[in-house]
């Protein structure tokens, strides 16, 4: 029964996966249409010196904020995305503490620099050397870290 379409699936080590309720819910969140104003930033503040995080005022009047730790753990690049999928972490969820005998000191995530990517995204140059994540306005708004959105996404559960 294997056709050419199965190539991708064969390349993954997991074989056929069952979609959990959590994954299905997340997929629905991803699909939700955002109005253009909801994903157009009016003001972007990067609190780099304070190390507190990123704040965006959107054109529709909503204000989003994220800590740098959250953003680092939500890196949308393919590598980080895959790693999260494998360990079942949500974007922004911290990795469990590594089971090493000698725990390594890890500096709190913060960007050495933040650069706009065209007119649609931000790119973070993280202090751990990771730079491949492109955080689109769409992605950021969908994962708004303000209290209100975080609460409503848990309630929707």
Residue 133 Cβ, how far from Zn ion at the closest point, in Å? Answer: 4
Please, are residues 17 and 8 in contact by the beta-carbon 8 Å criterion? no
Contacts with 141 (C-beta within 8 Å, 6 or more apart), sequence order: 34, 38, 39, 56, 58, 62, 64
Q: Whose Cβ is closer to Zn ion: residue 44's or residue 77's? A: 77
Q: What is the rounded CA–CA span in Å between residue 124 and residue 114?
A: 5
Residue 135 Cβ, how far from Zn ion at the closest point, in Å? Answer: 10
Strand partners, 123: 115, 134
Q: Whose Cβ is closer to Zn ion: residue 77's or residue 114's? A: 77
Q: Whose Cβ is closer to Zn ion: residue 121's or residue 149's? A: 149
Residue 95 Cβ, how far from Zn ion at the closest point, in Å? Answer: 12
The residues that touch Zn ion, with contacts defined as CB under 5 A, are 75, 77, 80, 133, 144, 146, 149
């Amino acid at each position: 029964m294997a056709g050419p379409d199965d190539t991708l699936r064969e390349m993954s080590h997991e074989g056929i996966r069952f979609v959990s309720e959590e994954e299905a819910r997340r997929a629905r969140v991803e699909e939700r249409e955002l109005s253009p104003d909801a994903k157009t930033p009016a003001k972007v503040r990067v609190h780099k010196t304070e190390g507190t995080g990123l704040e965006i005022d959107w054109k529709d009047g909503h204000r989003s904020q994220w800590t740098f730790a959250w953003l680092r753990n939500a890196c949308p690049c393919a590598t980080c995305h895959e790693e999260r999928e494998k360990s079942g972490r949500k974007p922004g969820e911290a990795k469990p503490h590594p089971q090493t005998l000698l725990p390594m000191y890890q500096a709190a995530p913060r960007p050495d620099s933040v650069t706009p990517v065209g007119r649609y995204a931000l790119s973070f140059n993280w202090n751990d050397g990771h730079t491949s994540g492109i955080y689109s306005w769409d992605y950021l708004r969908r994962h708004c870290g303000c209290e209100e959105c975080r609460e409503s996404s848990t309630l929707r559960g």
